[in-house]
Structure 1
Amino acid sequence: MHWIAALPMYNVTPALAADWRALLARVHARVADWLAARGDTLAIVESNEPLERFWLRDDLLLSQTCGYPLVHALADRVRLIATPDFDIDGCAGGNYHSVLVTAARLTAASLEACRGLRAAYNGDDSNSGMNLFRHAVAPLAEGGPFFSSVLKTGGHLASLRALAIDRTADVAAIDCVTFAFVREHLPELAGGVREIGVTASAPGLPFIASNALPADAATLLADALDAAVRVHPELARRLKLKGFVRRPAGDYQSILAMEGAAIARGYPVLA
């Protein structure tokens, strides 16, 4: 088998993208003997095709997805490897949340004060940008629209630009890991928004592989990820990684529970 690997989720800057590729290279070195014994190869690639299609490739050795597609389009169709444990507030034990932000030019001090403003979100299949946002708004919406308009931007950085630069939206929910990287590497962009709260927590974005991967290799990959963080502390520091946790797939059902709670309140879509 000619395997491929890519980590597409937290490439906030080119330097960070290079560091995520470096992490994959460290993993590659750790599993080289296993690959050679099978006559297999591994290429670290760019995920240029639609992510859902990429994540479902039979030759996918390692990638990272979002918890929302994991429990929807990818449910029972990929193998869960491990969940990153980030050295970021709110990320203990492999969890994360979204940071609720408004444009810095606005005075709204809470999500409730954002009624009637313009919302931005990254995509319909995002847990951090849509599902957690919807879950936070649902108790306030009272079964009707809460925002005056909703803009789908295609990514968290685009949502931040919509608030801070383009002024095409006023409020958004940003993955706290993304936001931590933005604050460190893109401070001018971070300075254009203001935090007004956080969403509920959810299991972090998991590393996955194809179901074609042998079960014993899943443990090998998880061990290789652990070793990459332990043996290369400077790389781990730049990626804000403390390590990886091995969470059961059932943990991710909490994402479906939050979706169900919003629907039960009469708020099935962000509006």
Structure 2
Amino acid sequence: MNWLAALPMYNVTPALAADWRTLLDHVRRHVRPWLEARGDSFEVIHPSTSLTEFWLRGDVLLTQTCGYPLMHALNDRVQLVATPIFSVDGCANGDYRSVLVARKAAGVTSLESSRGLRAAYNSDDSNSGMNLLRHAVAPFANGRAFFASVIETGGHLASLEALLDNRADIAAIDCISFAFVQEYLPALASGVVTIGVTAASPGLPLIASKDVPPDGISAVRIALASVIEEDPPLARRLKLAGFAQRPLDDYSVILDLENDAAQRGYPRLA
């Protein structure tokens, strides 16, 4: 088997994309004995299909998804390997949240005061950009549309660009992505203000195909843990503090947040 690996979720800049590939090179080196014992190989790739298609491939040894598809399209179809712990506020034990940001010129100071403005979100299957924002808005929506309009941008960076280009006023940005933007793309962060944060939920999980045997999962987990000790500068650049072994049931909070919004009469971001 030629096993595949890709970490596509936090490639905020080309330099960070290269660092995530370096992390996968560390993993490859550590799992080599397991691979050689099986006569297998390991290839780091950039997915050429949709991410959902890639996540569901039977030859994926390691990749990263979002908790929302983990609970929906990928439910019981992949294995949870680990949850990264980031050295970012709100990320203890592998949790994360979204930062609510507004276009500076919009003049709002809270989510509640943004009624009637325009929202941007990255994708319908995003926990950070859609689900957490929907949950945050639900108490103020009173079962009706809250925003004048919503646009799907395809990514967190694109959502921030939509705010700067005056195509939207409000967005929810994964706090890890936003921390990377503040450090590496300060011009993109300078045009927005933080008006709050969302509820917390487990962070973006590292997953593997259901076809990876238990000893392969163990080898990958050991390899991931070694990165922090062996390459501290890389860990610092990636804001990685470690990896948690969280049960899949922890991610059910994402469904709870979704259901809470629906029970408040706000099942769709609008």
Structures share fold, TM-score greater than 0.5:
yes
Q: How does 1:218-237 map to 2 (within 5 A)?
A: 218-237=217-236
Partner residue in 2 for 1:215: 214
Structure 2 residue identity aligned to 1:132: L
- The answer for the alignment partner of 2:78 in structure 1 is 78
For the residues of structure 1 that align with 2:228 and 2:3, how far apart are their CA atoms?
Answer: 22
Alpha-carbon separation, structure 1, partners of 2:182 and 2:234: 18
Q: In terms of mean alpha carbon deviation, does 211-220 or 175-184 score higher?
A: 211-220
Look up the equivalent residue of 1:147 and give its one-letter code.
F
Counterpart position of 2:145: 145
Alignment match, 1:186:
185
The secondary structure found in structure 1 opposite 2:61 is: strand
What does the per-residue CA deviation read over 1:211-231, in whole Å, with 9 as the maximum and x for residues that have no partner?
000012212211110101111
d(CA) in 2 for partners of 1:232, 1:112: 44
Partner of residue 34, structure 2: 34
> 1 CA distance for matches of 2:39 and 2:136?
49
Paired residue type of 1:235? L
What corresponds to 1:5 in structure 2?
A: 5
Percent identity among equivalent residues?
61
Instruction: Give 1:115-130 correspondences, 5 Å limit.
Output: 115-130=115-130
Post-superposition offset of 1:106:
2.0
Q: Distance in 2 between matches of 1:192 and 1:222?
A: 39
Q: Which residue of 2 aligns with 1:246?
A: 245
Per the alignment, residue 206 of structure 1 pairs with 205
TM-score norm. by structure 1 comes to: 0.99
C-alpha separation in 2, matches of 1:51 and 1:150? 23
Partner SS state of residue 158, structure 2: helix
The corresponding residue for 2:171 is 172
Q: Report the Cα offset of residue 48 of structure 1.
A: 1.9
Residue 106 of structure 2: SS of its match in structure 1?
coil
- Residues 1:135 and 2:170 aligned together: no
Residue identity opposite 2:247 in structure 1: P
Matched letter for residue 267 of structure 2: P
In structure 2, how many angstroms separate the alpha carbons of the residues matched to 1:187 and 1:15? 15
Could you list the per-position Cα deviations for residues 10-33 of structure 1 after superposition, in whole angstroms to 9, with x for gaps in the alignment? 000000000000000000000001
List gaps (5 residues or longer) in structure 2: none
One-letter amino acid of the structure 2 residue matched with residue 121 of structure 1? Y
Offset of residue 168 of structure 1: 0.3
Q: Which residue of 1 aligns with 2:63?
A: 63
* Deviation per residue, 1:223-245 (Å, 9 max, x gap): 11010111100000000000100
The equivalent residue for 2:255 is 256
Other structure's SS at 1:79 match? strand
- Where 1:61 maps in the other structure, the secondary structure is strand
The separation in 2 between residues aligned to 1:254 and 1:234, in whole angstroms, is 33
In the alignment of these two chains, the number of paired residues is 270
One-letter amino acid of the structure 2 residue matched with residue 160 of structure 1: L
Residues 227-267 of structure 1: per-residue CA shift (max 9 Å, x gap): 01111000000000001000000000000000000001110
CA distance in 2, matches of 1:172, 1:219: 38
TM-score (norm 2): 0.99
The amino acid of 1:128's aligned partner reads: S
> Could you tell me which amino acid in structure 2 is paired with residue 169 of structure 1?
A
What is the rounded CA distance, in whole Å, between the counterparts of 1:189 and 1:129 in structure 2? 17
Runs of 4+ in 1 over 3 A off after TM superposition: none
- Structure 2: how far apart are the matches of 1:105 and 1:148? 17
Q: Distance in 2 between matches of 1:56 and 1:234?
A: 32
| Distance across 2 between alignment mates of 1:65 and 1:203 | 12
SS at match of 1:247: coil
Could you say which residue in structure 2 is the equivalent of 1:112? 112
User: Partner of 2:51 in structure 1?
Assistant: 51
Distance 2:65 2:77 in 1: 13
RMSD over aligned CA atoms reads 0.5
Instruction: Please state whether the residue corresponding to 1:43 is helix, strand or coil.
Output: strand
Cα separation, 2, equivalents of 1:3 and 1:192: 42
Q: Secondary structure at the match of 1:110?
A: coil
